[in-house]
Structure 1
Amino acid sequence: MTSASRPDCPLLTDHTVTELARAGEIVLDSWHLYDGAGIAVDRHRSRFTAHLQEVFGVDKDETVAAYDHALAHLPSDGSWFPGFVWTSKGLRLVLRPFPVEHLRSSTTLLLQGTLDARKRPDIKGIDYLSQLYAHRQATDAGYDDQVLATGDGSLTETVFATLLIAQGGELIVPDAPRLAGITLEVLGERAGRPVRLDTVTPSRLLAAPAVFTLSSLHGVRVVERVNDASYQPNPALRDRLQEVLDEARGPVADLLGEGTQLPCASC
């Protein structure tokens, strides 16, 4: 979709998520769109709706209508990373291309005991600016992302992903305040391995036989290094978990139904 062909719709914006977050409180939803399809998009919409009811007091029907309106404007081909951003003025769709060659199947993590200072780690977007700062600390130090910790030193997640330890046939996730990730939810139902919540300390993470991160953009990524500690990557397990996710990918158009009407006259 080019700016020349883009409809004159108030939901579509040239602002970035960062600019919208600087202008006021936001709630965010985002996921990878590839050739008009996404993984468990209906669940993303439901989580977004629930968060908006709590933060902004927005009626469910209004949220769903706005979200579906935005979905109807998504491209049907190519690789994209759409951001659904609810602001004080309503929904804004931030649509940016994300070439598939930029998708990563591995990652490196900085672990330095950084306190998870988010006010609402369970709601995506509210603490976006502080997350950017923590993420910049990691990239400035030469890492892809940073692990966050609670006040007692146990780990929560990375700045932009869920931590996942594979050990003894189980998938272990930190039992700590964090975002209820859709990617983790799908894996928990489909992977054929039990997912268990447990306390994850820095020493346990460093001693783990295999560590992964989960996100709605990159899916499953193998952690190759935490600080100076290198892991023996398990790409075969990563590929199996990613295949499970890909099986949950479906056309966005299926969520809209035939004859869906766009609510703004300019569309």
Structure 2
Amino acid sequence: MTTPAPTTADVTRLEIDGLPGTADTLRARALDGFGHFTAMQVRGGKVRGLGLHLDRLDAANRELFDQGLDGDRVRELIRHALAGDGSGDGDQEGGSATGSAESTTGLIGDASVRVYVHAPGGTPSLMVTVRAPTELPVTMADRAQALKSVPYVRPVAHIKHLGGFGQAYHGREARRAGYDEALLTGHDGLISEGAITNVAFFDGRELVWPDAPHLAGITMRLLRAGLADAGLPTRLAPVRLRDLPSYRAALVMNSWGVSPVSRVDDLDLPLDEKLMGTVAEVYEAAPWDVI
């Protein structure tokens, strides 16, 4: 699989606090790299783990700007951007998770949505961008990703912040070298996460999440909540590059979904169909929340 760069799709709509972006409001954001965001896939006006996205934004806002972020306000602004015609406050309870991309009223049901938060003058300001939805290949074999390890750990890794140059650089270099994703590592080859993914390793009995600085992604959190009930225990433990030959399989995940890992550097990893079937089943069972 060739993983698309995370910003390849053109922005369909962009709003700042419910209004179209202007030269002044966009200039302020271009000159201010201090902020945070969340990224989600919308289907039929719904999102998996919406509450987790709202919690992420609120927690990051409290840490960076010393104030909470109203989840209802976030939802309102996302709905407004998806509506695109001022009718974003309408009730979407009847929407399905596989609705059409855009209706005759201008409502975009399926999309990649990002919510960026800055605080000019100390007041949180939200920018919502809408792009075309990202769909992974149907079969796990076609999704399989090759990872290139790089010596880099994101600063303040537990926050999805705007300082993404390092991971973007390493992700680009990995793709230029024929890989799909960069695998971020620290001292002594300690694995933390992918450039835009979380990663996990299967030892034949348990799924192991690397115990190192990382962002606890929404898909990762949904899986951790459901895998034990599906009969697949998980644990947090240090994983180093030199340990990888002892693992039977690996996978990566983000808002796009879950994918198997076919290779890390020169180490080939087999596709474990049973493992990926269990993980995919748990992920697909996660409920869709109305925005």
TM-score class, shorter-chain normalisation, is: 0.7 to 0.9
Evaluate the alpha carbon distance shift between residue 224 and residue 7 of structure 1 in structure 2; reply closer, same or farther with a 3 A threshold: closer
Report whether the alignment pairs 1:39 with 2:48: yes
The one-letter amino acid of 2:264's match is: V
Checking the alignment, whether the CA contact within 8 Å between 1:31 and 1:82 is kept in structure 2 is yes
Corresponding residue for 1:119? 155
Checking the alignment, whether the CA contact within 8 Å between 1:20 and 1:26 is kept in structure 2 is no
Query: Deviation of residue 147 (structure 1)?
Result: 0.9
Report whether the alignment pairs 1:242 with 2:280: yes
The 3-state SS of whatever aligns with 1:183 is: helix
Structure 1: where are the runs of 5+ without partners?
254-267
TM-align CA RMSD: 2.9
The one-letter amino acid of 1:250's match is: W
Query: Deviation of residue 68 (structure 1)?
Result: 1.4
Query: Deviation of residue 132 (structure 1)?
Result: 1.1
Corresponding residue for 1:203? 242
Query: Deviation of residue 208 (structure 1)?
Result: 1.5
Corresponding residue for 1:260? none
Corresponding residue for 2:126? 91
Corresponding residue for 2:253? 214
Deviations 1:109-152 (A, max 9, x none): 0024x121x22111002322222112111111111111111223
Query: Deviation of residue 6 (structure 1)?
Result: 9.0
The one-letter amino acid of 1:69's match is: E
Report whether the alignment pairs 1:231 with 2:240: no
Report whether the alignment pairs 1:27 with 2:36: yes
Query: Residues 135-146 of structure 1 correspond to what in structure 2 (within 5 A)?
Result: 135-146=171-182
Query: Residues 152-163 of structure 1 correspond to what in structure 2 (within 5 A)?
Result: 152-163=188-199
Query: Deviation of residue 11 (structure 1)?
Result: 5.2
Evaluate the alpha carbon distance shift between residue 230 and residue 7 of structure 1 in structure 2; reply closer, same or farther with a 3 A threshold: closer
The 3-state SS of whatever aligns with 1:111 is: strand
Q: How many residues align?
A: 244
Q: 2:205 aligns with which of 137, 156, 169?
A: 169
| TM-score, with structure 2 as normaliser | 0.74
Corresponding residue for 2:75? 68
The 3-state SS of whatever aligns with 1:69 is: helix
Deviations 1:217-255 (A, max 9, x none): 2x21100111222221123422321221121131424xx
Query: Deviation of residue 52 (structure 1)?
Result: 0.7
Distance (whole Å) between structure 2 residues aligned to residue 211 and residue 176 of structure 1 = 17
Checking the alignment, whether the CA contact within 8 Å between 2:49 and 2:289 is kept in structure 1 is no
Query: Deviation of residue 166 (structure 1)?
Result: 1.4
Report whether the alignment pairs 1:128 with 2:194: no
The one-letter amino acid of 1:138's match is: A
Evaluate the alpha carbon distance shift between residue 157 and residue 22 of structure 1 in structure 2; reply closer, same or farther with a 3 A threshold: farther
Distance (whole Å) between structure 1 residues aligned to residue 220 and residue 12 of structure 2 = 38
Deviations 1:173-199 (A, max 9, x none): 111111122222221221132211111
| TM-score, with structure 1 as normaliser | 0.80
Query: Deviation of residue 101 (structure 1)?
Result: 5.7
Distance (whole Å) between structure 2 residues aligned to residue 6 and residue 44 of structure 1 = 19
Aligned-pair identity in percent equals: 25
Corresponding residue for 1:257? none
The one-letter amino acid of 2:75's match is: D
Evaluate the alpha carbon distance shift between residue 156 and residue 5 of structure 1 in structure 2; reply closer, same or farther with a 3 A threshold: closer
Structure 2: where are the runs of 5+ without partners?
1-10, 84-98, 102-109
The 3-state SS of whatever aligns with 1:58 is: coil
The 3-state SS of whatever aligns with 1:98 is: coil
Distance (whole Å) between structure 2 residues aligned to residue 154 and residue 88 of structure 1 = 35
Corresponding residue for 1:188? 224
Checking the alignment, whether the CA contact within 8 Å between 2:46 and 2:289 is kept in structure 1 is yes
Corresponding residue for 2:68? 59
Checking the alignment, whether the CA contact within 8 Å between 2:198 and 2:217 is kept in structure 1 is yes
Distance (whole Å) between structure 2 residues aligned to residue 51 and residue 8 of structure 1 = 19
